[in-house]
Copies of this chain bind each other. A is one copy, B any other.
Amino acid sequence: MASCFSGGAAYVDGRYMPLDQATIPIIDRGYRRSDVTYDVASVWRGQFFRLDDHIARFRRSMTALRLSPGETDDDIRFIMQRCVQLSGLRDAYVAIDCLRGRPVFGMPHDPAKARNYIVAFAQPWIDLITPEVQARGAHFIVAKVRRIPSDSIDQTVKNFHWGDLTRGLFEVLDAGADGCVLLDHAGYVTEGPGYNIFCVKDREISTPNSGVLEGITRRSVIEICSELGIPYRIRPIAAEELFQADEIFVTSTAGGPMPVTRIDGHIMGNDRPGPLSSKLKAAFWKKRESGWHGTPVAYGNDTEE
């Protein structure tokens, strides 16, 4: 049994299965109207990071979209644990989705009538930016495509409306870069595909205050700044500030804090990860290693189910 779960384990609407067997109907509004929210937690060295914070955010996202699956928060915690346990992974990316469900026939435009349900899976850990690129510092561009504004799609509710971010990824590929920053319609910095953005100027750290996901890793970095006495501000950041920054770094569940050394060809510092970016990255992983905000995975606890 273990072998078929080794590529990842999934939960779909009440049933566990190997990840490569996990599917959803093509007529589900979750796919067909991207009527779904999700969250992603990480497991590193056998520990979830801020599991309850991810579950709380996921519940807020579901409430905002009027999604109410049968599963309680305790059920969701159990499902995420169980997926990791089945996969046997020590380092994993653990996703949890809530889909609107199938439309009621004859009422295609009544999303309130559909039965909402949960999908989850654990798969091997992925770094959004490879360790090699993180070591030299990532090369970023400012994408031409603009981020979907929050009065169209609330960006604090994690969503799969990634068309703008996917266009940004193609701009990255065309430019031979490693990542990108999207601006809003007023020319302010928002976020990139899968990460929040921070910049550093005169030893002060800033990250955008609106139109972005309130990332759990972003929050963790802000907590570390408080602890270490590093000044920070959560505020609007104009695009121009990126080119005047001493350092830029991004944060993601899939990688933690990751240094950026070039933006649109503009080289920061000595073309190496900056001192504050490196300090925060090191502090983050040292704290993770010590079990900070950690929840051990219940491996081998097969009697639990």
Residue positions of A touching B, CB distance < 8 A: 10, 12, 19-20, 22-27, 29-35, 65-66, 97, 100, 105-106, 108-112, 119, 121, 123-124, 126, 128, 145-149, 151-153, 159-166, 169-170, 172-173, 179, 185, 193-194, 254
A163–chain B nearest beta-carbon distance, Å: 5
Most chain B beta carbons < 10 A, residue from A12, A65, A97, A153: A153
How many Å lie between the Cα of A123 and that of B106 in the bound state? 11
Taking a contact as CB atoms closer than 8 A, the residue among B22, B34, B110, B152 that contacts A149 in the complex is B152
Q: In the complex, what residue of chain B is closest to A26 when comparing beta carbons?
A: B22
**A153 B160 Cβ-Cβ under 8 A:** no
Taking a contact as CB atoms closer than 8 A, the residue among B12, B19, B33, B121 that contacts A162 in the complex is B33
| A194 contacts across to B, CB distance below 8 A | 108-109
How many Å lie between the Cα of A123 and that of B146 in the bound state? 36
How many Å lie between the Cα of A52 and that of B101 in the bound state? 31
Taking a contact as CB atoms closer than 8 A, the residue among B31, B34, B110 that contacts A173 in the complex is B110
How many Å lie between the Cα of A274 and that of B152 in the bound state? 32
**B31 A24 Cβ-Cβ under 8 A:** yes
How many Å lie between the Cα of A110 and that of B32 in the bound state? 23
- Known interface pairs A12-B26, A146-B149, A149-B185; 20 further A-B residue pairs with C-beta atoms within 8 A, sorted by A's residue number: A10-B26, A20-B25, A22-B25, A22-B26, A24-B24, A24-B26, A31-B160, A33-B165, A35-B162, A108-B128, A108-B194, A109-B172, A111-B170, A112-B170, A148-B149, A148-B152, A149-B149, A151-B185, A152-B163, A152-B164
**A109 B121 Cβ-Cβ under 8 A:** no
- Known contacts A128-B108, A152-B147: A162-B26 contact under CB 8 Å: no
**B170 A66 Cβ-Cβ under 8 A:** yes
Taking a contact as CB atoms closer than 8 A, the residue among B10, B33, B146 that contacts A166 in the complex is B33
| A31 contacts across to B, CB distance below 8 A | 24, 30-31, 160
How many Å lie between the Cα of A166 and that of B106 in the bound state? 17
| A193 contacts across to B, CB distance below 8 A | 109
| A153 contacts across to B, CB distance below 8 A | 148, 161, 163-164
| A163 contacts across to B, CB distance below 8 A | 34-35, 152-153, 159, 161
**A108 B126 Cβ-Cβ under 8 A:** yes
How many Å lie between the Cα of A148 and that of B123 in the bound state? 32
| A100 contacts across to B, CB distance below 8 A | 166
How many Å lie between the Cα of A151 and that of B182 in the bound state? 12
